[in-house]
């Protein structure tokens, strides 16, 4: 069903936002660190208009689910919590939001670590901005989206996903300093493209494991006497910490340094080496990988035309990202998936996207 069929009238406006994949800088954003995401072709589109009654009306085409909200004191669950959160943070910022009819359709894979939630939040806020002509820039949109996710979806996320969805494109890498909001747009290394393959393993422990890792990093920073682990630049400084804080902190410090090295300019080969080192660190020091992801990344790293590969997103399942020779991504993906699926798994090519709608 389209907007007209669901709500009985055409939409008044619409806006879209992409998912993202992170090339380097995993689990650094909530440590005030540095990240290197890029947008993916898949995106979420939100159509909206004013509701015909006193209730907010939300509809997800993907889920074929409709939610009505009259009482603003109770946060709904599922996809509607993100939309409701966006409305609430706008109202807390001083804007009056009349009851809305919201229609969502998305090609961003859910549960693969590609920020489907951030795409929904940013698309929702962009659509409301257009409808009500709100004076919000793209950074403010990202910051409001982050607050919606923290306070209404219950995820203590950093700012990377929302900033990437709000500011990144598919042709460049977005360097972001998550403490200062300094950002630069960098080209992909010459002669390369991005390949993303879903491991087929849903991120079953992502939320609980994520919150635990975040708490461990905060404890490590406290013991080191700094505001955040981003303030430690020499990895040897963490060696006196008790386990597992030593390994958690070592990952963050070395990961930040990998991102900063890319900022100075590196060859595709060196970029790939840094991605490989990132995966090893996420697997061994941060302990957020799973056997399926390790298998997939190992096959990628050993395949001709692949400069480097790693898990992307929170971990505990989800997708891998690889930097590969330009023009060869689909052929490489098919070769890798044949081996990966032969090992007993079921992977899927996500980027390059074969058919992106909306």
Q: Of 326, 333, 47, 350, whose CA–CA distance to 190 is shortest? A: 326
Model pLDDT, residue 211: 85
Give just the sign of the alpha carbon dihedral 201, 81, 105, 321: negative
Model pLDDT, residue 210: 85
Model pLDDT, residue 76: 86
Domains of the chain: which residue ranges?
Answer: 3-187, 192-351
- DSSP count for the chain of H helices, then E strands: 10, 11
The Cα–Cα gap between 69 and 101 comes to 11
Strand arrangement, sheet containing 319-325: 306-312, 319-325, 192-198, 348-351
Q: Could you give the count of Cα atoms lying within 13 Å of 123 in the half-sphere of its Cβ?
A: 28
CATH class of 3-187: alpha beta
Ranges of the chain whose pLDDT falls below 50: 357-358
The Cα–Cα gap between 16 and 7 comes to 20
Which tokens hold the place of 38? 């890029």
Model pLDDT, residue 66: 95
Helix-strand-coil split of the chain, %, nearest 5: 40, 25, 35
Model pLDDT, residue 358: 41
CATH of 192-351 given 3.30.470.20, 1.10.10.10, 1.20.1260.10, 3.30.70.890: 3.30.70.890
Alpha-carbon distances of 215 from 26, 31, 34, 206, 248, rounded to whole Å = 16, 10, 19, 14, 10
Model pLDDT, residue 354: 76
Q: Residues with Cβ < 8 Å from 198, sequence gap 6 or more?
A: 109, 112, 318, 319, 347, 348, 349, 350
Helix (H) or strand (E) holding 219: helix 206-224
Is the Cβ–Cβ distance between 13 and 48 less than 8 Å? yes
The Cα–Cα gap between 46 and 121 comes to 9
pTM: 0.90
The Cα–Cα gap between 25 and 260 comes to 9
Model pLDDT, residue 157: 81
Q: Of 10, 42, 34, whose CA–CA distance to 228 is shortest? A: 34
Q: Of 160, 180, 178, whose CA–CA distance to 118 is shortest? A: 160
| CA 90 centroid distance within chain | 22
Model pLDDT, residue 261: 97
Name the β-bridge partners of 59. 66, 103
Task: Report the DSSP pairing between strands 348-351 and 319-325.
Answer: unpaired
Asked, as a colleague might, if the bond just before 244 is cis with ω within 30 of 0, I would say: yes
The Cα–Cα gap between 239 and 295 comes to 29
Catalytic residue set: 161
């Amino acid at each position: 069903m389209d907007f007209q069929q669901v709500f009985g009238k055409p939409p008044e406006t619409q806006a879209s936002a992409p998912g993202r994949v992170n090339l380097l800088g995993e689990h650094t954003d909530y440590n005030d660190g540095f990240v290197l995401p890029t947008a993916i072709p898949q995106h979420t589109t939100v159509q909206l208009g004013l509701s015909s009654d006193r209730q907010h009306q939300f509809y997800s085409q993907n889920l074929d689910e409709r939610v009505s909200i009259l009482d603003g004191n109770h946060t709904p669950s599922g996809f509607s919590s993100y939309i409701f959160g966006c409305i609430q943070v706008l109202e807390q910022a001083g804007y009056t939001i009349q009851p809305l009819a919201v229609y969502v359709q998305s090609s961003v894979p859910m549960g693969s670590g590609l920020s489907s939630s951030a795409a929904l939040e940013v698309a929702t806020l962009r659509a409301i901005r257009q409808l009500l002509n709100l004076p919000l820039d793209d950074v403010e949109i990202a910051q409001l989206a982050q607050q919606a996710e923290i306070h209404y979806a219950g995820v203590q996320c950093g700012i990377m996903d929302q900033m990437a969805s709000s500011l990144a494109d598919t042709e460049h890498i977005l360097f972001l300093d998550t403490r200062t909001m300094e950002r630069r747009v960098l080209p992909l290394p010459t002669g390369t493209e991005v390949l993303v393959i879903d491991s087929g393993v849903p991120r079953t422990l992502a939320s609980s494991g994520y919150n635990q890792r975040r708490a461990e990093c905060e404890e490590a920073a406290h013991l080191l006497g700094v505001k955040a682990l981003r303030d430690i630049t020499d990895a040897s400084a963490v060696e006196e910490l008790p386990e597992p804080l030593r390994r958690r902190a070592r990952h963050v410090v070395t990961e930040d340094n990998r991102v900063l090295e890319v900022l100075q300019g590196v060859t595709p080969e060196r970029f790939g080496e840094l991605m490989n080192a990132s995966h090893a660190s996420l697997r061994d020091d941060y302990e957020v990988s799973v056997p399926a992801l390790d298998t997939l990344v190992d096959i990628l790293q050993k395949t001709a035309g692949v400069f480097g590969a790693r898990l992307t997103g929170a971990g505990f399942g989800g997708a891998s990202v690889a930097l590969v020779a330009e023009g060869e991504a689909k052929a490489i993906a098919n070769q890798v998936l044949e081996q990966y699926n032969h090992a007993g798994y079921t992977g899927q090519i996500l980027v390059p996207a074969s058919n992106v709608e909306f």
